[in-house]
Amino acid sequence: NAGVTQTPKFQVLKTGQSMTLQCAQDMNHNSMYWYRQDPGMGLRLIYYSASEGTTDKGEVPNGYNVSRLNKREFSLRLESAAPSQTSVYFCASSDPGTANTEAFFGQGTRLTVV
Contact residues toward another protein (CB under 8 A) are: 31, 33, 35, 40-45, 48, 50, 58, 90, 92, 94, 96-97, 101-103, 105-108
Nearest in space to 3 (alpha carbons), one of 21, 20, 22, 23: 23
Nearest in space to 5 (alpha carbons), one of 95, 86, 102, 108: 108
Q: How far is the CB of 80 from another protein (least distance, A)?
A: 27
Looking at beta carbons only, is 14 or 39 nearer to another protein? 39
The residue count of the chain comes to 114
Q: How far is the CB of 92 from another protein (least distance, A)?
A: 7
Q: How far is the CB of 18 from another protein (least distance, A)?
A: 26
Looking at beta carbons only, is 58 or 63 nearer to another protein? 58
Residues with Cβ < 8 Å from 10, sequence gap 6 or more? 109, 110, 111
User: 73: which DSSP letter?
Assistant: B
Looking at beta carbons only, is 35 or 81 nearer to another protein? 35
